[in-house]
Structure 1
Amino acid sequence: MHNTAKQLNFFDKHKGTKVGLIFTVGSLLLTLTYVIPIISVLPRILAEKLVAMFVDPDPYSNVSKGVIIILSVGLALVITGFLIIERYELKRGKAVHKRLIYLLMTIIYFILHPLGFYIYWALVLDYRNDGQLIFGAINSFPVSSIGFVIIGYLIDRIKRIIINSL
């Protein structure tokens, strides 16, 4: 079913928030496993290797700061790309399909949780690197999980701005 941009039903109006809430609740439940949060931050290793090629790794916080920048830019690019697609669809009089928002949130999952881990490492642990660092993933996971509902809400707000400008 395709709706025109001016006739979005309740679900379409709040689609991003609802999908974000599903990902938030799912992530919060996965925190209870203790294993999934640790596995979820493993993609950070690729970003670390990339940054380490260009930044002096002594102290290692230099690499971590670079990873925070790369993950933040990646997150911004993914969301911006989605918003460009959404604007195009709304101009055509169609709502973005829910599957696209699920795909967006899945991609964001692998950016947001490592980003949350690095921010936690920076702010709470002051870049201390000891054997307990991996447990920072467990501690940061619930906080970064909240980001999905925030991102979903922002997508919905921006969608309303786009609709009002058409």
Structure 2
Amino acid sequence: MRLILMRHAKSDWSGPATPDHDRPLNARGQASAIALGDWLRLHGYLPDEVLCSTATRTRETLDELALTAPVDYVSRLYHAEPWDMLDILRGGKGSCILMIGHNPGIAEFAQDLVSATPDHPRFHDYPTCATLVADFDVADWPEVTPGTGQVVDFIVPRDLTD
């Protein structure tokens, strides 16, 4: 089973009256999400199911990725804690799931899931649009336990533009 764990792309903070849940992506975030979608396709990291927070910035990130997998918008993923993310993942149906969420929970979840962290200076702070690809030697998602994921790849948008 494969999990692609992505933090939403960079959002727009220019409208201070905009509720946090409704903040859209900014131009840099849109470009980053497009680049990450291209990167996913280039490497064959194509989900067959997407679990996405209901926040505007996560939904727009997903739109810019331009993937074709069925999507389940999960309100519990909005600012979810790591244990909530694990519970949501355990309900997944696909063999390759893309989960899009928020910090700090997604960074903690990524660290909890893998047996060894990737040698990348940005893994622990999980910047916007950071993406982990991890494999699990299980038959079904309910069998996933912390510390059992094997890192396949990890990338941040700057890796694609520098």
User: Does the alignment reach a TM-score above 0.5?
Assistant: no
Q: Which structure is higher in strand share?
A: 2
TM (normalized to structure 2)?
A: 0.27
TM (normalized to structure 1)?
A: 0.27
Q: Which structure has the larger Rg?
A: 1
Q: Which structure is higher in helix share?
A: 1
